[in-house]
Amino acid sequence: MHELSICQSLVDQVEQIALSHGAKSVASVNLKIGPLSGIEPTLMQHAYPYASAGTLAAESTLVIELAPLIVRCEICGAETEAQPNCLVCGVCGDYHTKLVSGDEMTLMRVELITLEARNDV
Amino acid sequence: MCNTCGCNITRGNQSFAHKVVNGTTAVAVLDNLLAKNNDQATHNRQHFDKHRLLVINLMSSPGSGKTALLEATIDAFRNEYRIGVIEGDLETENDAERIRIKGVPAYQITTGTACHLDAHMVHDALHQFPLETLDLLFIENVGNLVCPASFDLGQHRNVILLSVTEGDDKPAKYPVMFRAANLLLVTKSDLLPVLDDFSLERAELNLRKLSSIAPIKLLSARRNLNLQAWLDWLSSELAQQRERIRRGETVWPQLEPDSVHSHVETI
């Protein structure tokens, strides 16, 4: 249950980016979250309005893209989808696999509402 | 200047960096959500390496025997290694006091309501320690199989305890935590004769399903059963850490995507 503190540090990060670009506010924040990241996307969505209240990100939308869980087998080379508690190869069943995707917790993109742009409109 | 926060974007290249559409500017970031914690953890790790320390993060459920394991380890290594302990709990100095009775420096972090230690808390605790006089530093994390797994503290190895009373399916229930293990200790083995529902084979199968190659050791700290296997693992890890320091290298507890092969060779 650390989603609120992660959300608060996310909002800090986003505000710094907004300030460094002279933005008026933040329109949207895009994250990519994998099932093995330890972060629950639903809880992030619940926490976001509280963490962003009173900041440049207050009116922004949090968009979470779910990363698929994919492993590559070191024995047979196959890339298959997996489950969080079963990361064995979907083809040969060996457990010597590497995670290709699934533990991401990445801030991908921020959309800013910029002062210059407002002047253009 | 970096490529993540936007500080590399200047007035000169700004028009190339961002596409302005209908009054909004999209900025690509690609930064980890725990970047701040991870930066602090990297700093802690440099600090540990400078002092030639091996740092172990102990994680488990509350009550699976982390402090008892430390007490037995301190007794066994009394004449071999100099040990320090950072204790994490929501409240009380109880665990640090148990360690201090053994004559070992211990610092208690009380987190209040926080369910895990983070790299900043550990950094603050380091100032209370004579790091230059230690060989091994244990960080006993808050008893919790969820949150501590996500926070790098700067440690070199993660050791996860699973007591036999908890059940052999814990790795399947808490995959993020058990995936992080460099070593799994199945503790309270002296209770196995009275438990008919814990199977070491099933526990191992559940761990392997997480694609984990971590070794598993069964022991009882209280009854001093099979403690030697754990002590040998620690001595071997400390020797490897010193060899890394000699070469100017360090190690992260969790596998980098391309380091699985080299890790296999070390076991």
B6, B24, B173 member nearest A111 (Cβ): B24
Which DSSP symbol is given to B239?
A: H
> Same structural domain for residues B253 and B156?
yes
ipTM field? 0.87
Residues B46 and B172 in one domain: yes
Interface contact flag, A106 B173, Cβ < 8 Å: no
Q: Are residues B17 and B94 in the same domain?
A: no
For the stretch B156-204, pLDDT in tens is 999 999 999 999 999 999 999 999 999 999 999 999 999 999 999 999 9
Report the residue of chain A nearest B259, measured CA to CA: A98
Whole-angstrom distance, CA of residue B210 vs CA of residue B205: 9
- Confirm whether A22 is domain-assigned: yes
DSSP B220: B
Q: Count the domains in chain A.
A: 1
Domain contains A121: no
pLDDT band, very low/low/confident/very high, at B20 (cuts 50, 70, 90): low
Percent of chain A scoring above 90 in pLDDT:
89
pLDDT of residue B265: 30
The percent of residues above 90 in pLDDT, for chain B, comes to: 80
Q: Is the CB of residue A95 less than 8 Å from the CB of residue A110?
A: no
Residues 189-228 of B with CB under 8 A from A: 206, 208-213
The CA angle A57-A60-A64, to the nearest 5 degrees, is: 110
Report which residue type is found at B218.
L
Note the pLDDT tens digit of each residue in B124-140.
999 888 899 999 999 99
Q: What is the CATH number of the domain that holds A9?
A: 3.30.2320.50
pLDDT tens string B47-93 = 999 999 999 999 999 999 999 999 999 999 999 999 999 999 999 99
With 60 as the cut, is the pLDDT of residue B100 above it?
Answer: yes
Helix residue spans in A21-65 (DSSP H): 41-52
Whether residues B39 and B121 fall in one domain: yes
In a domain, A109, yes or no: yes
CB B37 within 8 A of CB B122: no
**Average pLDDT in the A8-19 region?**
95
Q: Are residues B111 and B236 in the same domain?
A: yes
Q: Is residue A73 part of a domain?
A: no
Query: Does residue B121 share a domain with residue B63?
Result: yes
pLDDT, averaged across chain B:
89
Sheet holding B19-21, edge to edge: A61-66, A23-33, A105-114, B24-32, B19-21
Task: Evaluate whether B92 touches B9 at the Cβ level (below 8 Å).
Answer: no
Pairing status of strand B157-163 against strand B24-32: unpaired
Instruction: Give the type of residue at B233.
Output: W
CB pairs under 8 A between A and B: 133
3-state secondary structure of B84: strand
Closest CA to B254 of B157, B172, B183: B157
- Say if residue B26 is in the same domain as residue B44: no
Residue B248: other Cβ atoms inside 10 A? 7
Structural domain total, chain B: 2
CATH of the domain at B113: 3.40.50.300
Residues from chain B contacting residue A120 (CB–CB below 8 Å) = 20, 23
Same domain, B10 and B57: no
Within this chain, do residues B3 and B80 fall inside the same structural domain, yes or no? no
Of B31, B151, B206, the CB nearest to A106: B31
User: B203: domain range?
Assistant: 35-266
Instruction: Identify whether residues B225 and B210 lie together within a single domain.
Output: yes
- Judge if B78 and B132 occupy the same domain: yes
Q: Which amino acid is at B42?
A: T
A79 neighbourhood in chain B, CB within 8 Å: none
Residues 6+ apart with CB under 8 A from B29: A13, A17, A107, A108, A109, A110, B4, B5, B6
Instruction: Please give the pLDDT value at position B18.
Output: 52
Range of the domain at A15: 3-68+101-114
A85 lies in some domain? no
| Whether residues B61 and B124 fall in one domain | yes
**pLDDT number for residue B129:** 84
